[in-house]
């Protein structure tokens, strides 16, 4: 019995650089999230009254929780979308995708189950983010 040659996708170096830039930009956004919120809230500073300061702090806390939950959810939504693409194409990685490293293509039932697993894990982590927000 002859062994099938596995299909591979070669690495794309320019795509690798693009991925690194996007990841670093996302990390920079996460690091600068609170200073950006402080800057936005400083346009209308509260009066020096203690109750107004407490209200200002509670508004800042709510806004920071909401914005950070949305920012942390962005990669999860992206990976859920990737899982959906794998599920539709029954191929990992999906057709016409460039990859930052050399990968072997997985087809059929294995790819389908990996797509379902990716979607399930992303939905579970999104529910966790929702629970942390409330």
Q: Is residue 85 part of a domain?
A: yes
Q: Is residue 128 part of a domain?
A: yes
Q: How far apart are CA 114 and CA 96, in angstroms?
A: 19
Nearest to 7 by CA among 66, 91, 79, 71: 91
Number of domains in the chain: 1
Domain, as residue range, for 22: 13-133
Q: Is residue 64 part of a domain?
A: yes
**Tell me: the pLDDT tens digits for 49-96?**
889 889 988 989 999 999 999 999 999 999 999 999 999 999 999 888
CA angle 83, 134, 23 (to 5 degrees): 40
CA angle 5, 113, 123 (to 5 degrees): 140
Nearest to 108 by CA among 90, 83, 87: 90
At 107, is the secondary structure helix, strand, or coil? strand
pTM here is 0.83
């Amino acid at each position: 019995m002859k062994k099938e040659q596995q299909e591979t996708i070669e690495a794309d170096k320019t795509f690798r650089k693009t991925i690194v830039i996007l990841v670093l930009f996302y990390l920079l956004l996460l690091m600068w999230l609170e200073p950006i919120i402080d800057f936005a809230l400083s346009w209308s500073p509260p009066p020096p009254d203690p109750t107004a300061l407490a209200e200002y702090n509670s508004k800042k806390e709510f806004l920071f929780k909401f914005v950070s939950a949305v920012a942390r959810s962005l990669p999860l939504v992206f990976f859920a979308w990737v899982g959906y693409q794998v599920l539709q194409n029954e191929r990992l990685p999906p057709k016409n995708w460039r990859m930052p490293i050399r990968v072997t293509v997985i087809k059929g039932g294995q790819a389908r189950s990996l797509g379902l697993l990716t979607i399930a894990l992303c939905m579970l982590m999104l529910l966790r983010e929702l629970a942390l927000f409330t």
